Amino acid sequence: GENVEQHPSTLSVQEGDSAVIKCTYSDSASNYFPWYKQELGKGPQLIIDIRSNVGEKKDQRIAVTLNKTAKHFSLHITETQPEDSAVYFCAARFQGAQKLVFGQGTRLTINP
Amino acid sequence: GAVVSQHPSWVICKSGTSVKIECRSLDFQATTMFWYRQFPKQSLMLMATSNEGSKATYEQGVEKDKFLINHASLTLSTLTVTSAHPEDSSFYICSGQSQETQYFGPGTRLLVL
């Protein structure tokens, strides 16, 4: 069935270093892949998304890469800052569906 | 742009009572809205997809008679938890879809005593 696997579940990096979170999806026809950041007690906030016709997208310190052949996509955060600490969720929209299927989440901690 | 609000932000109720949660898209029209619930340290679990003017589509295992969803306008969807029980205590989050993108509300924390 439709499935998105996300790794790692927790990630701790030093301030200023880079963080990478990876996701794999099951349906090769998936066409839309957003990433959300969720701070404690708040709703998820869209930080970046990518569509299946693009291999990479960047927005300042955040980038997402997509490998359709391998069915995986990754979030890259460079020059991490304490305010980047949060839970990050990847998601995929499978072809023909309205809904998103979410990964299990990654708790990112930035150590000062 | 693309702001979604929820009301209330938190609610405490007695077991057996009903609770209504509102979800509004403030600066866009959302033909489709989604309702999720999230338990502590877990991912988002989709409960139902709501299209304006039609009946909601519930995910497997979600009781449609217990979680009533109404999407009467392009900017408002409501979730009513009927005959709430302690196991319904959770964080309920809605989202509105604008083009392909889902924008989430701030969530409603429900505690059933």
Amino acid found at A13: V
A50-66 mean pLDDT: 94
In the block, residue with structure tokens 């000062």: A112
State CA A112 to chain mean position distance: 23
Q: Do B46 and A42 touch (CB under 8 A)?
A: no
* Closest-CA distance of chain A to residue B107, Å: 5
Tell me the chain A residues in contact with residue B10 when contact means C-beta distances shorter than 8 Å: none
pLDDT computed for residue B113 by the predictor = 96
For B43, the closest of A43, A93, A103 (CB atoms) is: A103
How many beta carbons lie within 10 A of that of residue A63, not counting itself? 18
CA B50, B47, B111, B81 torsion: positive or negative? positive
pLDDT computed for residue B53 by the predictor = 84
For B49, the closest of A46, A89, A99 (CB atoms) is: A99
Q: Do A98 and B97 touch (CB under 8 A)?
A: yes
Q: Which residues lie closer than 8 Å to B41 by C-beta, 6 or more apart?
A: none
Per-residue three-class SS string for A34-46: EEEEECCCCCCEE
A79-99 mean pLDDT: 94
Per-residue three-class SS string for B6-50: EECCEEEECCCCCEEEEEEECCCCCCEEEEEEECCCCCCEEEEEE
For B93, the closest of A43, A46, A49 (CB atoms) is: A43
First to last CA, chain B: 37
B97-105 mean pLDDT: 93
- Beta carbons of A37 and A54 less than 8 angstroms apart: no
Two tokens, residue A88: 């990050």
Selected for mutation to probe chain A from B43, B47, B50 (highest A CB count within 10 Å) is B43
B89-107 mean pLDDT: 95
pLDDT computed for residue B1 by the predictor = 66
B18-38 mean pLDDT: 96
Tell me which residues of chain A have a C-beta less than 8 Å from any C-beta of chain B. 32, 34, 36, 41-46, 49, 51, 89, 93, 98-100, 102-105
Q: Do A43 and B4 touch (CB under 8 A)?
A: yes
* Closest-CA distance of chain A to residue B82, Å: 23
* Residue B99 pLDDT > 90: no
- Beta carbons of A102 and A90 less than 8 angstroms apart: yes
* Closest-CA distance of chain B to residue A100, Å: 9
- Beta carbons of B38 and B90 less than 8 angstroms apart: yes
Q: What's the angle, vertex CA B53, arms to CA B6 and CA B80, rounded to 5?
A: 40
